[in-house]
Amino acid sequence: MPQTDIFPGEVFANTDEFDTGIRELLPKYDELLETIVRCVPAESRTVLNLGCGTGELSLKLLRTYPHLRVVAVDYSPRMLAVAIAKMKKWGYGDRFSCLQADFGELAVSDSLPDAISQPFDACVSSLAIHHLEDEMKAKLFAWVGDRLPSGGCFWNGDPVEMESEHLAKVYTALRETRAKERGKTIEEVRAKIGNSVPQGYSGPDRLATVTAHLEMLDRAGFEAVCVPWKYFGTAIFGGIKT
Ligand SMILES: C[S@@+](CC[C@H](N)C(=O)[O-])C[C@H]1O[C@@H](n2cnc3c(N)ncnc32)[C@H](O)[C@@H]1O
C-alpha cells in the first residue's frame, strides 16, 4: 500500500492518529512533556512553543499555569488545525495563538513576524528540532536565546543519538513491550507512519549526542546548561539565558 507523503515530524499519515500513535511509539511521551512543563517557572507569562504539532505540550502548559499564554509555531497546517481545534475544545483558545512557519527559516531571517515579536519568558519544544541539521540546530538555539530575557529558560525534549548499540537494542525491545501492553505490535504502530519528505529546513531524523546539544546551548549563550530528564534515546536539555 503506498504511504501518504507527510512533512518531517508529522509522523503519521493521518494527523488524527498522532495523539494515540505517538503514545504507542514513545512509552514515556507524557512524562517527557510533563517534565518540560515542570521546568518552566510557574511565574512565566508567555511561552514560545516550537514545533507544537497537535498541541499536546501547549495544552499541558495551559492546564498547569492559569496565567500563561502560549504562542506556538509549526510549519504543518494539518498539525496546527488539530492544535487550534483542541485549544478551543478545552476552552484555552484565548490563551493560545499560533504561527505557521518553518523555525529554521525564522532562525536565519532578518525580520521577525508580528506573531512572535513580543518578549517571551521561556521557550519549549518537544520532538521537533532533531529534524534540523546540527548547524541549523545551533542557529536556532542562538535565535531562541535572542528571544529570551536574561534569566529566561529554554527546554527542548528531543531524540538523541544513543550511547551504544547495546542500549539502542534494549530501548527498541522496551518500546516493543510497551506497545504490546497497549494492545498493539510495534509493526502495527509503524504501519500508520507516513512517508516523510524533506520540507524547508527539516529532513529525516538528524540525531546529535547529548554532549553536542549541551555544547550548542553553551555557545548560544545559555548557562546552567543541563539534562534534567533522559530515558534511553530521548532527553530534555536546556538552560538559562545569561
Ligand atoms: C513529532 S511532532 C511533535 C509535536 C509536539 N511538539 C509533541 O510533542 O507532540 C514534530 C512537529 O514538529 C514540526 N516541525 C518539524 N520541523 C519543523 C520546522 N522546520 N518548522 C516548524 N515545524 C516543524 C512538525 O510539523 C510536527 O508538528
Cell reading at 196: 516523510
Burial of 21-34, coded b for 16+ CB within 10 Å and e otherwise, reads: bbbbbbbbbeebbe
Residue with CA at minimum distance from ligand 1 atom 22: 74
Mutate to test the pocket of ligand 1, among 23, 32, 75 (most ligand atoms within 8 A of CB): 75
Cell reading at 42: 510557574
Q: Is 56 in the pocket of ligand 1 (CB under 6 A)?
A: yes
Instruction: Single out the residue of 143, 140, 119, 144 nearest to residue 131, CA to CA.
Output: 140
Q: Is 55 in the pocket of ligand 1 (CB under 6 A)?
A: no
Residue with CA at minimum distance from ligand 1 atom 8: 126
CB atoms within 10 A of CB 209: 13
Q: Is 27 in the pocket of ligand 1 (CB under 6 A)?
A: no
Range of the structural domain that residue 60 is part of: 5-241
Domain count, the chain: 1
CB atoms within 10 A of CB 80: 21
Atom of ligand 1 nearest to the CA of 131: 16
Reported as type and span, the H/E element at residue 123 is: strand 122-126
User: What CATH code is carried by the domain that includes residue 112?
Assistant: 3.40.50.150
Q: Is 128 in the pocket of ligand 1 (CB under 6 A)?
A: yes
Q: Is 238 in the pocket of ligand 1 (CB under 6 A)?
A: no
User: CA 104 to CA 209: how far, in whole Å?
Assistant: 20
pLDDT score of 226: 98
pLDDT score of 4: 79
Atom of ligand 1 nearest to the CA of 32: 8
User: CA 55 to CA 143: how far, in whole Å?
Assistant: 22
Q: To which residue does cell 504561527 refer? A: 99
pTM of the model: 0.97
pLDDT, one tens digit per residue, over 19-76 is 999 999 999 999 999 999 999 999 999 999 999 999 999 999 999 999 999 999 999 9
pLDDT score of 3: 61
First to last CA, the chain: 52
Residue with CA at minimum distance from ligand 1 atom 14: 51
pLDDT, one tens digit per residue, over 123-174 is 999 999 999 999 999 999 999 999 999 999 999 999 999 999 999 999 999 9
> Cα dihedral sign for 209, 229, 52, 125?
negative
